[in-house]
Amino acid sequence: MATTIALNMPRTQPSLARIYFNEVRFELLKLSRNRSYLFSMIGFPVVFYLLFGVTNKASVFQGHTIARYLLAGYACFGAMGSSLFGIGAGLALERGHGWLEMKRASPMPAAAYLLAKLCVSITFAVGITILLMILGTAMAGVHITIIEALRLLSVIAAGVVPFASLGLVIGLLMPSNAAPGVINLIYLPLSFCGGLWMPIEALPHWLQQIAHGLPSFWFARLALGSLGYSSSSALLAWALLAFYTVVFLLAAAFIFRRQEAQA
Amino acid sequence: MIASLRSVSKRFGQQVALDRLSLELRRGEVVALLGPNGAGKTTAVRLLLGLSQATSGEVRIFGGNPRDRASRLRLGAMLQVGRMPETLRVREHLQLFSSYYANPRPLAELLAVAGLEGLEEKLFGTLSGGQKQRVLFALALCGDPDLICLDEPTLGMDVEARRAMWEQVRKLAARGKTILLTTHYLEEADALASRIVVIQRGKVIAEGTPQELKTADGSRSIRCTTSLRASFVSALPGVTNVEQEGNIMLVRTHTPEAVLRTMLEHDDALSGLEVRAAALEDAFLALTNNTTAAVQ
């Protein structure tokens, strides 16, 4: 019988590419069917942009309109939200209710699980940015060149990585019911102090000092830079974001090891 | 040898979850792991699945480390999952898990085995508790594994669904698959297991076929309607336990004949007499010294 022969033979390895592809595909499908996730992830940046960006289309800041400034800011806001909630809250939920154990006991490579969540956060972040660009050009008279649009989209896509890493830390630490609240406590101050909602120059001086230590500030600098605002060094911003990523990933690895030893 | 734990200990700080526990799983066996809550069943299963690491001792599956992908390709696990992604359809969940294996079982076959026909297009979140359990069962079988770990597989299932799953477990064993089962339902262990391993405080305290365990202490249960007082009967030689509810009495004894003779001599009206071998439950309770649970 075929099964008897197969029983003592090592199994053939499946195609890794197919596993990664499926993991991304179903993660995307899972989240895009989740209405409350969609509503808050896409809804908040879009509504805020309509309220504060589109209505302020006449105001000018540093030679460009406020609507253009806020396009970069809310694109960062959307990217941070999709990575912090998609990964942080998603992981906390799947870890807390035993689903992660099922996945870990399967032959799925752990990297596929994490990479799928990262890819989906990037997809949402890019999608939100495109939506904001359409709204900006159509309703607020924002003018951006193709090159600027592509530069902004690349900054947004790459900028997801440090926040996805922070999401990983939160998802590992927080119980599933506390995760969304904790994420908001981190997400909203990071957004405000990073100058995502209004020009950083409008904030009190001491808050500007704090802002320089936040990953959201440097993310926003890069996004604004792609639209011609910020003159600060892009290299420094990338280096700091890379530094944050490494710190968060090391923290996540440490927490995971410690939890595993206690499990 | 399919899998083994050799003198495995697991400590969490000061607490000892497993204490030099050894367990071997052979081809085609259905082994039930029984024990009171906190005995170390889950810890043993998690070690076998490579989800946690032993403090000392050796865990092997298919001659390798349980953490190797090669081992996991031949392993299926059905764990207790409170919530899993609810916005994926049954079919999609199965497709994803099937993609982890080079030669997965065909979807139609999985649906049939787990009793999910007609539910494949349903979102997971809309399923009943028993149906969700069946999806988890199907996920464990996606790769047609040689070793299957089932942790409380029939929790929340109705009698019919439970029997259907038992039937599938028997079929798997008949195909040479090895099954490790942890369950709270002693009836389930009795119905399925070719071998039962009872663990308590991280140690194996008894091991054998259901029949061997039931007859291990050689005791019988006597059930009858009698006016005799419990204190009188429990003082008789060979009586290990007496329970009384109204005028119905349940006596556990190693010497049923002698005990009955005395009882009949002292109560002419004794009626409704029934003598039977101990059930697995009695054996289990006797082993774990947890007799109070039987009264409650």
**Structure confidence by residue, pLDDT tens digits, B124-150:** 999 999 999 999 999 999 999 999 999
CB contacts, 8 Å: A14 with chain B: 99-102
Indicate if B56 and B25 belong to the same structural domain. yes
Please indicate, yes or no, if residue A4 is contained in any of the structural domains: no
Query: How would you list the strands of the sheet with B75-78, edge to edge?
Result: B75-78, B147-151, B178-182, B30-34, B195-200, B203-208
Please indicate, yes or no, if residue A2 is contained in any of the structural domains: no
Indicate if B73 and B146 belong to the same structural domain. yes
CB contacts, 8 Å: B82 with chain A: 96-98
Indicate if B76 and B132 belong to the same structural domain. yes
**How far apart (Å, rounded) are the C-alpha atoms in residues A84 and A164?**
6
What CATH number has the domain bearing residue B255?
3.30.70.100
Of A31, A106, A262, nearest to B100 by CB-CB distance is A106
**How far apart (Å, rounded) are the C-alpha atoms in residues B12 and A60?**
62
Evaluate if residue B296 carries a pLDDT over 60: no
Q: How many CB atoms lie within 10 A of CB B98?
A: 21
Return the residue in B46, B51, B96, B180 with the most chain A beta carbons within 10 A, the one to mutate for interface testing: B96
Which residue range forms the structural domain that includes residue B257? 219-277
Report phi then psi at A260, rounded to 5: -65, -35
Nearest in space to B283 (alpha carbons), one of B205, B211, B213, B208: B213
Indicate if B174 and B251 belong to the same structural domain. no
Q: Which residue of B has its CA nearest to A260?
A: B52
Indicate if B20 and B152 belong to the same structural domain. yes
Indicate if B160 and B15 belong to the same structural domain. yes
Give the residue ranges of DSSP H helices in B50-185. Answer: 69-72, 90-98, 107-113, 129-141, 159-174
Please indicate, yes or no, if residue A198 is contained in any of the structural domains: yes
Number of structural domains (chain B) is: 2
What CATH number has the domain bearing residue B137?
3.40.50.300
Please give, rounded to a whole number of angstroms, the shortest distance from the CA of B66 to a CA of chain A: 9
Provide the phi-psi class of B144: left if phi over 0, else alpha when psi is between -120 and 50, else beta. left
Indicate if B33 and B167 belong to the same structural domain. yes
Of B12, B74, B136, nearest to A11 by CB-CB distance is B74
Which residue range forms the structural domain that includes residue A191? 17-262
Please indicate, yes or no, if residue A3 is contained in any of the structural domains: no
Q: Report if pTM > 0.80.
A: yes
Please indicate, yes or no, if residue B46 is contained in any of the structural domains: yes
Q: Residue B291's pLDDT band (boundaries 50, 70, 90)?
A: very low
Nearest in space to A60 (alpha carbons), one of A140, A124, A2, A115: A140
- Asked which of B178, B210, B242 is the last residue of a domain, the reply is B210
Indicate if B11 and B95 belong to the same structural domain. yes
Indicate if B72 and B132 belong to the same structural domain. yes
Please indicate, yes or no, if residue B294 is contained in any of the structural domains: no
The answer, for B105 touching chain A at a CB cutoff of 8 Å, is: no
Number of structural domains (chain A) is: 1
Q: What is the pLDDT along chain A (263 residues), one digit of tens a residue?
A: 444 444 556 678 888 999 999 999 999 999 999 998 898 899 999 999 999 888 877 787 777 788 888 999 999 999 999 999 999 999 999 999 999 999 999 999 999 999 999 999 999 999 999 999 999 999 988 889 999 999 999 999 999 999 999 999 999 999 999 999 999 999 999 999 998 988 888 888 998 899 999 999 999 999 999 988 766 789 999 999 999 999 999 999 999 988 887 77
Please indicate, yes or no, if residue B226 is contained in any of the structural domains: yes
Please indicate, yes or no, if residue B96 is contained in any of the structural domains: yes
Question: Do residue A3 and residue B49 have CB atoms under 8 angstroms apart?
Answer: no
Of B82, B99, B176, nearest to A4 by CB-CB distance is B176
CB contacts, 8 Å: A4 with chain B: 176
Please indicate, yes or no, if residue B295 is contained in any of the structural domains: no
Indicate if B224 and B87 belong to the same structural domain. no
Average pLDDT over every residue of B106-113: 96
Contact A65, A58 (CB under 8 A): yes
Please indicate, yes or no, if residue A227 is contained in any of the structural domains: yes
pLDDT of amino acid B35 = 86
Indicate if B141 and B250 belong to the same structural domain. no
Angle between helices A215-226 and A146-173 (to 10 degrees): 170
**How far apart (Å, rounded) are the C-alpha atoms in residues B223 and B244?**
10
The answer, for A36 touching chain B at a CB cutoff of 8 Å, is: no
The answer, for B96 touching chain A at a CB cutoff of 8 Å, is: yes
pLDDT of amino acid A2 = 42
The answer, for A147 touching chain B at a CB cutoff of 8 Å, is: no
Provide the phi-psi class of B38: left if phi over 0, else alpha when psi is between -120 and 50, else beta. left
The answer, for A10 touching chain B at a CB cutoff of 8 Å, is: yes
The answer, for B52 touching chain A at a CB cutoff of 8 Å, is: yes
Contact A36, B87 (CB under 8 A): no
Indicate if B152 and B244 belong to the same structural domain. no
Question: Do residue B175 and residue A3 have CB atoms under 8 angstroms apart?
Answer: yes
pLDDT of amino acid A260 = 81
pLDDT of amino acid A4 = 44
Distance spanning both ends of chain B, measured CA to CA: 41
